[in-house]
Structure 1
Amino acid sequence: MELRQIEAFLAVAEELHFGRAASRLRMAQSPLSQTIKKLEKSLGAELFERNTRAVSLTTAGLSFLPHARKILEELDLARRAATADTGTVYGRLAIGFSGALNHTTLPPLTRALRQRYPGLDLTLSGGLLTQDALGHLHNGSMDLAFIGLPVDAPSLATRRIAVEPLGATVPVDHPLAGRSTIALRELAADGFVTMPEAQGSTLREAILSACTAAGFRTRVAQEVSDPYTALSLVAGGVGVSLMPESVAGIMPGGTVFIPLSDNAPRLESGIAWNPALVSPALRLALQVAEEVLPTPPA
């Protein structure tokens, strides 16, 4: 396998058109086709399905694609590291987070990493709920993830970074919207906007457990993957929800955050990583996280 074959594969995979890929590589279409055929022969699998109208990736091509990208990314890093000043840190770090729930914890870490290690390439992926993030950590497609705790993932390492009380989020025209605090049982008749059960959301589990402890069964009005979208649905009158108190500062128009009285349930959040796949970049990130996101009391 040659580097030019991988570059040719990526060009075709991204363009899904041999003519455009050849133009991008500044070569004729016939040599490009021969290069791809040689790569397929060396791998023992067809990477593209071709017909007169379209080009598409085969299952083998889809499987090969992330590895091909990683090869070129690592080569780029190697070139940059070879010409960098002594002591300059280079590497790639993929970080996953849910979105609104991490608006106070993600920025301090990424800001510190960019300031201290400008040669470190950060890739941030939002909209990930806990179980999805754990899957990415297991297969190595992600280095670090912001998650809800606790989790059942013995092969992964976790550390708590925040413990927050949950509060009620209701539409601005809700009968309880003007109250300074409410008891959770006062929302027993309302439908709740939650995260999908299949995606293993820790927040969803916390909401259901809190409602059960308050003496009623949660009636789910709508399920959405993104917490901020959940707040938008609350604003639209679809239902109510529970969110950590840090969300109070970023509530969309038309919603109200109300603290819960009487032992408000708490949500623990943390970071997770795969100890079997600790790169130099991840090791640095964990060290910085210890400083900017210290472990709070339980």
Structure 2
Amino acid sequence: MEFRHLEGFVAVAEELHFGRAAARLHMAQPPLSQYIRLLERDLDVKLFERNTRSVRLTAAGDSLLEPARRVLAEAAAARRTVLAANGGEVGRVTVGFAGASSYGALPRLTRAVTSELPGIELVLQGQTYSGEALSRISEGTLDLGFVALPTRGGISSRVVRVEQLISAVPDTHPLAERSSIDVAELADERFVAFPATRGSAVRDTAMQACLNVGFSPMITQEAPDAYNLLTVVGAGVGVALVVSSAQNIHMEHVAFRPLTGDVPTMSIALAWRSDNPSAALHSVLRLAEDVLPTPPN
């Protein structure tokens, strides 16, 4: 039983006319009639009752029609899948992220992939800070990560956002009454920060901002992600230095204030291993250029 014989059978069964079925298949009628004879011989059944005026299915032909349609549909789906995989449109891409910078960008990317590349599954791995993400990308256990620059050898990247460092203080704190805050004014405050052992670029940048004005911050509590960190700030436990995207997290009892002076910025990038051969990854990267464009200088 050959696919072309089944295609010929389905065309004749649906048209109930050999001439129209042949035209539909873009072939001459005699070869189509030969397909049907070969299929009948292979199955040892008669599929059509034919005379000079009409064609109709036999009981055997009628019982074959739906299974034949399913076989052809599955064959077509298999072909589409193979072609899509060859073009990078089928597969799994692991994505590491952490912090407020990815909270806006990641949904835009995932929605675009779902819409434009439905054969690709994004496997999202949260609380993957920059240092950890870069290590895992280098090791090959992570395909793509939202990281802060700089990266390291063997890793390619493209900037998708530039963040300003800002302050987050309890709304009952006296500094919340100010329109802006100098980092030096936080010298005597208790700080809430991201974990020291996870490679958080936000923590490193915040620590450097404090050191630049002459003090080492007193960290009294760590939080695993931006939501938890801001919850702790809102509870009055301490203050924090966060990226400007954190303002998109609507948290009660937290006041965000810009910092004055020479405030560090952070370039947030998509990063991937330069020699990663995954066609699915490169399809996602091409789509990301549209939905997460590089910001202007």
**TM-score of the superposition, structure 1-length normalised?**
0.68
Aligned to 2:90: 90
Distance 1:247 1:160 in 2: 18
Aligned to 2:191: 192
2:225 is aligned with 1:229: no
Kindly state the Cα deviation for residue 82 of structure 1 after the two structures are TM-superposed. Answer: 2.5
1:101–1:227 Cα contact (<8 Å) kept: no
What RMSD in Å do the two structures reach over aligned CA positions?
2.1
Distance 2:111 2:215 in 1: 42
Distance 1:256 1:168 in 2: 8
Q: Which amino acid aligns with 1:255?
A: V
Aligned to 1:27: none
2:182–2:261 Cα contact (<8 Å) kept: yes
Distance 1:288 1:247 in 2: 25
2:101–2:268 Cα contact (<8 Å) kept: no
Kindly state the Cα deviation for residue 255 of structure 1 after the two structures are TM-superposed. Answer: 0.8
Aligned length: 219
Distance 1:150 1:275 in 2: 15
Q: Which amino acid aligns with 1:84?
A: R
Please give the residue correspondences for 1:62-73 in structure 2 after superposition, counting only pairs within 5 Å: none
2:101 is aligned with 1:105: no
Q: Which amino acid aligns with 2:240?
A: S
1:165–1:244 Cα contact (<8 Å) kept: yes
Aligned to 2:114: 114
2:167–2:240 Cα contact (<8 Å) kept: yes
Distance 1:80 1:162 in 2: 42
Please give the residue correspondences for 1:52-201 in structure 2 after superposition, counting only pairs within 5 Å: 82-84=78-80, 88=84, 89-151=89-151, 153-201=152-200
Aligned to 1:43: none
What is the percent sequence identity of the aligned residues?
Answer: 38
2:285 is aligned with 1:279: no
Distance 1:251 1:168 in 2: 15
Residue segments in structure 2 that go unaligned for 5+ positions in a row: 1-74
Q: Which amino acid aligns with 2:172?
A: D
1:251–1:257 Cα contact (<8 Å) kept: no
Aligned to 1:5: none
Kindly state the Cα deviation for residue 297 of structure 1 after the two structures are TM-superposed. Answer: 4.2
Distance 1:294 1:187 in 2: 35
Kindly state the Cα deviation for residue 225 of structure 1 after the two structures are TM-superposed. Answer: 2.6
2:184–2:210 Cα contact (<8 Å) kept: yes
Aligned to 1:59: none
Kindly state the Cα deviation for residue 224 of structure 1 after the two structures are TM-superposed. Answer: 2.4
Distance 2:277 2:185 in 1: 47
Distance 1:80 1:179 in 2: 65
Kindly state the Cα deviation for residue 189 of structure 1 after the two structures are TM-superposed. Answer: 0.8
Kindly state the Cα deviation for residue 232 of structure 1 after the two structures are TM-superposed. Answer: 1.2
Kindly state the Cα deviation for residue 275 of structure 1 after the two structures are TM-superposed. Answer: 1.7
Secondary structure in structure 1 of the residue aligned to 2:175: coil
Aligned to 1:26: none
Work out which of the two has the higher radius of gyration on C-alpha atoms and give 1 or 2. Answer: 2
* Alignment CA distance shift 1:278-1:99 (3 Å): farther
1:129–1:225 Cα contact (<8 Å) kept: no
Residue segments in structure 1 that go unaligned for 5+ positions in a row: 1-78
Kindly state the Cα deviation for residue 86 of structure 1 after the two structures are TM-superposed. Answer: 7.8
Kindly state the Cα deviation for residue 99 of structure 1 after the two structures are TM-superposed. Answer: 4.1
Aligned to 1:31: none
Kindly state the Cα deviation for residue 80 of structure 1 after the two structures are TM-superposed. Answer: 10
**TM-score of the superposition, structure 2-length normalised?**
0.68
* Alignment CA distance shift 1:248-1:137 (3 Å): same
